[in-house]
Amino acid sequence: MSSPRKLTPQEEARLAQVRSNFQERRRISESLEGIGTRIGVYSGKGGVGKTTVATNLSVILAAQDKEVSLFDCDIDCPNVTQVLRISEGPVQNGEKLVPPSRFGVKVMSMAFFQDNEDEAIVWRGPMIHNAINQFLHSTEWGSPDYMVVDLPPGTSDAPLTVMQTLNLDGFVIVTTPHELAVLDAKRSINMIKKMNLKVFGIVENLSGGVFGTGGGQALAEEMGIPFLGALTMSADYMNSKLPASLESDEVGAEFTAISEALQAQVEASKK
């Protein structure tokens, strides 16, 4: 009987990479196994308010006695920590990082690891992929009811990495009423559908004033997706001390309505 063929150096390298990828996926799976529902807040266009929605939705869920973790996946431009006014970073516990908490929400963000918040993070796709995976398996996420994930914009490498790695249960799509934002939101929905993932609903941000109203509602009807609600353009978002949903009764009521509609969609998806 002949002995097995010796692998070439290239074959050995590929095999080692496969083993490494498998071990990494296993570590990530073990790290995330205690999480209840994983919700991505996403849109194809930047500047529509994904971070505003992700942070305020998180603090409202926490105010409703839910355990919540918020993962800022926008590696290039992380802004969650600024919205929540959180400065203390995670602490080391053995091989794990324990995320800090603010307004009842556990937070992990690339911003904690920047020496200067004005610093530009100029990374190619593989570096972003590695950073996201490192955060996922090295963070002590615990067993929250919800993980809210603030995704980077676009339909390419960074959001694709999150979708493939995190196994999100569903998405909240954020748009403004403007036709270009609606178009990019539609593109992001089509990307999600190609990934065979679920959209829990659409939120229209910056509703009223110069942007008009109704773009999010019309998109929801066109795509056959629930419309979770609209967020009125308001000066209350300019407050520098608290998330607007905790400072303003009007904004808080809007986010509470969106939170309740979202939770209803989450529960319906489990049936």
The mean pLDDT value for 134-159 works out to: 87
Q: What pLDDT score was predicted for residue 121?
A: 66
Cα separation, 49 vs 61, whole angstroms: 18
Could you tell me which residue, 23 or 60, shows the higher pLDDT?
60
> What does the pLDDT look like over 15-43, one tens digit per residue?
777 776 667 777 777 878 889 999 999 99
Q: Is the pLDDT of residue 250 over 60?
A: yes
Cα separation, 82 vs 98, whole angstroms: 19
Cα separation, 177 vs 215, whole angstroms: 4
Q: What pLDDT score was predicted for residue 123?
A: 64
Q: At what angle do helices 125-138 and 9-32 cross, to 10 degrees?
A: 50
Q: Is the pLDDT of residue 49 over 90?
A: yes
Q: What pLDDT score was predicted for residue 8?
A: 81
Q: What pLDDT score was predicted for residue 90?
A: 93
The mean pLDDT value for 233-249 works out to: 89
Joined tokens for residue 106: 């556990």
Read off the pLDDT band of 225 (50, 70, 90): very high
The mean pLDDT value for 177-191 works out to: 94
| Domain coordinates in residue numbering, the chain | 35-269
Q: Is the pLDDT of residue 59 over 90?
A: yes
- The lowest-confidence range among 17-31, 94-108, 143-157 is 17-31
Q: What pLDDT score was predicted for residue 65?
A: 96
- Fold held by 35-269: Rossmann fold (3.40.50)
Q: How far is CA 239 from CA 81, 82, 229, in A?
A: 15, 12, 22
